Amino acid sequence: MPTEKEKMLKGELYNANYDKSLIEERTKCKMLCFQYNTTSPEKFDQRKELIKKIVGKTKGEFLIEQPFVCDYGYNIELGENFYSNHNLIILDCAKVTFGDNVFVAPNCGFYTASHPLDYKTRNEGLEYAKPIRVGNNVWIGGNVVVLGGVTIGNNVVIGAGSVVTKDIPDNSVAFGVPAKKIKDLQP
């Protein structure tokens, strides 16, 4: 029988509060995020090393401004030259992958976790998670929410305040609630 963590990583219904290992992993990650968020901004190298302990994979240069919060950390991959402004939240119950040259404005959230529409199932504490992929050369405006199961292509701009519920194709500008492609960009 699969564990709750195995079900989580497969995108199946699971109970995040039933599996002791998931609770311990979240607690460990939250403690590292707390340590990161309370480290002086002038201690750049120390902050960078803490992020490397939190996230699953980093590539070259990156900077995440404080505060930053995530669930597990090990499901997050940062590409080269990744930058996030303040208040980044990543609910990484599934993989969240950022390509190279991704810029994220303040107050953005990437939420792989979701809950069943059926209240009886939801009330049992069950949830599921779907991955998020962000391509290369992407700019995400302030106060954007990206939901699980979404792929944002390469060379994309997401306008401030958008809620991205569906895939956004390469070389485009998208915004709105829900976000929709409104303009093509030159590759």
The single-letter code of the amino acid at 97 is T
Within 8 A by CB and 6+ apart from 58, the residues are 51, 52, 77, 78, 82
Cα dist from 140 to 89, 107, 185, whole Å: 13, 10, 15
Cα–Cα distance list, 183 to 9, 13, 80, 156, 169 (Å): 35, 37, 26, 10, 11
Instruction: Tell me which of 86, 115, 133, 181 is the catalytic residue.
Output: 115
Residue 86 is a catalytic residue: no
Catalytic residues: 115
